[in-house]
Chains A and B, each alone.
Chain A
Amino acid sequence: MSEFILQILNGLDKGSAYALIALGLTLIFGTLGVVNFAHGALFMIGAFCSVTLSRILNASYVTIDPTQKDFLGNPLKVKSSYMESWFGPEVGGAITDWSVPLAILFSIPIMIVVGIAMERGLIKHFYKRPHADQILVTFGLAIILQELVRGFYGANPIQTPAPEALSSVAQLGGSLGLEIVYPAWRMVYFFFSLAVIGGVFAFLRFTTFGMVVRAGMADRETVGLMGINIDRRFTVMFAIAAVVAGWAGVMYAPINAPNYHMGMDFLVLSFVVVVVGGMGSLPGAVAAGFLLGILESFASWERFKIFDGLDQIIIYLVAIIILLTRPRGLMGKKGVMED
């Protein structure tokens, strides 16, 4: 039993990442009608926001302490971080320790700027072009963004630790008589993604802005005829989708050390998730994200193993089967991308 629950939990963190990226992809697709192959790059930029902030916060200067000598007899060089010297060792230490959660705030302006620049600067001109052109131009953009990151940060993965308080393992299910040991940060990631997904849904459901956006998704022309500037709202939605993808990356950094091609790796799977969930359906994207994440984790379970390596192809297999039996995906709407 506890093993069973552990498999579900194992699937949740990857599933959360899939769900967050797929949510953003679906938002962009539903509002702007654009297939964005550069969305994985936004995820990667988010992860590198974490890296950058933790580097900034860990910046230190070297002073020479003449009173102490090292083992060669030279004056000892003492490294001290700016944070600790400005805020005192305790507060400063806490700030550097919590750099990843702080990067959530740090990433917001960056992702908004990147998102708006992308939409206004490039994607705007591709609304009326065929989908093939949209795919290709965003694919080119993804390559460029990826190379920029590689140029600045190098090709090796960069370890970015979670705060010490959250990097331990959590003992779960004690009251149910189950022994489940699970990394705490992954639980944090799961609840964080739930909160973000809930936030996006609430924003669309309960605010006037969200109402207009939903109306625009349903019938863009009529909303425009009512004198509402729907384009500007869609740009805002693009920025929101960028922030969501960025946050998914920020919080993913401690789970998997960020490298420059992580965006491309996640992108393919996220597209599969979107298609399985049903193009244009937000709940479908989220549900499919978690579902496929959990499925992947079960396929790698020893006891469940039908044959070796099933976990690496299960998502694709399931996607192919679903697309053939339910062409619109799990929760796809009629009339979306059916030409």
Chain B
Amino acid sequence: MLGLEKKDFNLLMVVVALSLFAPLILNIFPKESAFAFFNGGYPDLMQRFAIFGIFAIGFNILFGLTGYLSFGHAAFLGVGSYAAVWMFKLLGYNVLPGLILSVVVAGLLSVVIGFVSLRRSGIYFSILTLAFAQMMYSIAYSDLFGRWLGITLTNGETGLQVYNNDPQILMGPDSSTVPHIFGLEMSSRLTLPVGPWEFVFPVGYYFCAIFLVISFYLSIRIFRSPFGLMLRAVKSNNQRMTYTGLNPRPYTLAAFIISGMYAGLAGGLLASMDPLAGAERMYWTESGAVVIMTVLGGVGTLIGPVLGAGTIKYMENIISKMNEKLLHEWFSFLPESLEKAMVWSASWFTGEGWHMTQGVVFMLVIIFLPGGLVQGSNKLFGRRKRKSTDDAATKQPAE
């Protein structure tokens, strides 16, 4: 169906179901219960799941298929955000022009960066993309082009936002003053109280989720296409591919541009949810974050990046919300000295220490589970045997 094999179609349906029922699944604990803290079903977080899912899916098309590790993908995300906010400033709050422009601009930028960076491979490629991204960050942070042209382009440290005196030429007198799609405001939501539960269905989230499903579908098609096969050939043996008379560069460049456009779309969506864009979105540790998401989920797998992005964003939100007062409450059943010790050691990993948890999780995954969560669950559910026979069949190249 939809040009997919049955297995892939089922996977797509899983993603559709998950994103459709996310507000229910993520609000599994009743509102007043002790575990309500772990509910992730508030609009802001769910939007991030979808947006960073898109970002990671795109990154996986490059890293998972071709093996080229880009350390500069945050640049595309940031550029996408800036482009979208500029559309809000010039045209009005309808998100559609902004999203289109953000994808186009990120695509153009990735043509330039990809064309230059892909002349090298391996660690050189990583460092070239890193250098480009840091350059873009510096340019945005000090609004270099803006100062050069004598206008405000990125608004430097403050970040770009929409002001009252912006032209917004498509804005009618009664148009809404928050991002919307043909009048349907992104921030509007439907709240549904069911007994002790309270479910929130935000418009913005579902808008992002539609894009997530489309992105996921496209990525399945790419993975299963002859083009995807070429990209895998780049990863497994670049040299042999060249010897068979194929030029790998157009393929890798295409993959780079596609993943850049995914990142641009994610950036545009970020700006559509909250019409702001700042340079800190482009800092190189942000590029590292998307690598972490993809690796955590499982590089080169279809569902992995979505899982990884969801896990990381959930952990980031929940763990950084845990403060010392809460920890004291949780450990209050212990004797006092033990309680203090527990709170002290837990406070390293919670609240502001969230980055510590991130680093630890990340290292553990790389060391013990290089295939990410997908590999882990395969091991857990005993699909390993079938998998390994599969691998044996595919991994035996004709020498």
Query: Is A309 touching B138 in the complex (CB atoms < 8 A)?
Result: yes
Instruction: Give the Cβ gap from A110 to chain B, nearest Cβ, in Å.
Output: 21
Chain B residues near A142 (CB, 8 Å)?
A: 359
Partner of A337 from B124, B359, B362 at Cβ < 8 Å? B124
- A residues neighboring B (CB under 8 Å): 35, 122, 125, 129, 131-133, 135-137, 139-144, 146-148, 150-151, 264, 268, 271-272, 275, 279, 307-309, 312-313, 316-317, 319-320, 323-324, 327, 337, 339
Query: Is B69 touching A275 in the complex (CB atoms < 8 A)?
Result: no
The answer, yes or no, to whether B127 is at the interface (CB within 8 Å) is yes
Q: Give the distance in Å from the alpha carbon of A151 to the alpha carbon of B134 in the complex.
A: 27
B342-386 to A contact mask, C-beta < 8 Å, 1/0: 000000100011011011101100110010000000000000000
Query: Is B367 touching A135 in the complex (CB atoms < 8 A)?
Result: no
Query: Is A133 touching B122 in the complex (CB atoms < 8 A)?
Result: no
Instruction: Give the Cβ gap from A70 to chain B, nearest Cβ, in Å.
Output: 36
Query: Is A312 touching B142 in the complex (CB atoms < 8 A)?
Result: yes
Query: Is A136 touching B138 in the complex (CB atoms < 8 A)?
Result: no
Query: Is A313 touching B144 in the complex (CB atoms < 8 A)?
Result: yes
Query: Is A316 touching B134 in the complex (CB atoms < 8 A)?
Result: yes
The answer, yes or no, to whether B126 is at the interface (CB within 8 Å) is yes
Chain A residues near B134 (CB, 8 Å)?
A: 268, 316
Query: Is A339 touching B147 in the complex (CB atoms < 8 A)?
Result: no
Consensus secondary structure, chain B interface: helix
Instruction: Give the Cβ gap from A17 to chain B, nearest Cβ, in Å.
Output: 17
B124, B131, B142 — which one has the most chain A CB atoms within 10 A of its CB?
B131
A132, A133, A150, A279 — which one has the most chain B CB atoms within 10 A of its CB?
A132
Given contacts A132-B69, A135-B123, contact A143 B135 (CB under 8 A): no
Chain B residues near A146 (CB, 8 Å)?
A: 355
Query: Is A143 touching B359 in the complex (CB atoms < 8 A)?
Result: yes
B290-313 to A contact mask, C-beta < 8 Å, 1/0: 011001000000000000000000
The answer, yes or no, to whether B128 is at the interface (CB within 8 Å) is yes
The answer, yes or no, to whether B159 is at the interface (CB within 8 Å) is no
* Chain B positions 98-131 with a Cβ under 8 Å from a chain A Cβ: 116, 119-124, 126-128, 130-131
Query: Is A139 touching B127 in the complex (CB atoms < 8 A)?
Result: no
Residue pairs across A and B with Cβ atoms less than 8 A apart, 20 shown, are: A125-B367, A132-B69, A133-B370, A135-B126, A139-B288, A140-B292, A140-B359, A142-B359, A144-B360, A147-B355, A147-B356, A148-B356, A264-B284, A268-B130, A271-B127, A308-B148, A312-B139, A312-B144, A313-B135, A316-B135
Chain A, Cβ-Cβ closest to B358 = A143
Q: Give the distance in Å from the alpha carbon of A309 to the alpha carbon of B127 in the complex.
A: 22
Instruction: Give the Cβ gap from B236 to chain A, nearest Cβ, in Å.
Output: 12
The answer, yes or no, to whether B67 is at the interface (CB within 8 Å) is yes
A143, A307, A319 — which one has the most chain B CB atoms within 10 A of its CB?
A143
